Amino acid sequence: MTKLDSTFDDLLAPHLRKLFRLAYRLTGSVADAEDLLQDLLVKLYERRAELPQIEALGPWAARVLHNQFLDRARYHARRRLVSIGSAESERAEIEAAVGFAPAPDAEVQASLDITTLNAAVAKLSLEHRTVLLMHDAEGYQLHEIQEITGVAIGTLKSRLHRARSRLREILAADGTF
């Protein structure tokens, strides 16, 4: 292993878990999230000599990941494919990948809540879903989301507010919350 390869591993290792969670939240699929993250790592590996000079590597890598997701979404919008798979097996993969382990007595309720919430979030527009997941689920600050997406903070605040309002409407209409 060369010095650049070692530096590449050292620089990105602390960010991989958060980048995977973001990729999963954006794609909604473990397999797609893994592919997106792998593509990101390949892209970043080609630029590994530049990485030590990047001041905020986590948000910068998240921006590259987000841009790759948007490129893929545009591509797939033209080519509609439906994934067929077992929801239970995918749920188990997701829980293992992101370290989610609910208490046994709460597992059934948490499963219902997560499924309902994910279905409601999926009904949001791409812009609203992205800002909501990045801010509320992944913990990015608005200024970091601005760096990642290139959208003005005022617009992000507006989208976040509208996303939360719309999510409440969807959940209230379903009678779940």
**In the predicted model, what is the mean pLDDT of the chain?**
81
Compute the average pLDDT of residues 138-160. Answer: 92
The first and second tokens of residue 57, run together, are 């590597």
Compute the average pLDDT of residues 74-83. Answer: 58
Count H helices and E strands in the chain, helices first. Answer: 9, 0
In tens, the pLDDT along 4-19 reads 567 888 889 999 999 9
Q: Quick check: 82 pLDDT over 50?
A: no
Give the C-alpha separation, 4 to 68, whole Å: 24
Model pTM above 0.85: no
Instruction: Give the pLDDT confidence score for residue 33 in this predicted structure.
Output: 92
Look up residue 159 and give its amino acid.
Answer: R
The first and second tokens of residue 120, run together, are 């409601």
Instruction: Give the pLDDT confidence score for residue 51 in this predicted structure.
Output: 87
Q: Quick check: 24 pLDDT over 60?
A: yes
Compute the average pLDDT of residues 116-124. Answer: 87
Instruction: Give the pLDDT confidence score for residue 84 in this predicted structure.
Output: 47
Q: Quick check: 131 pLDDT over 90?
A: yes
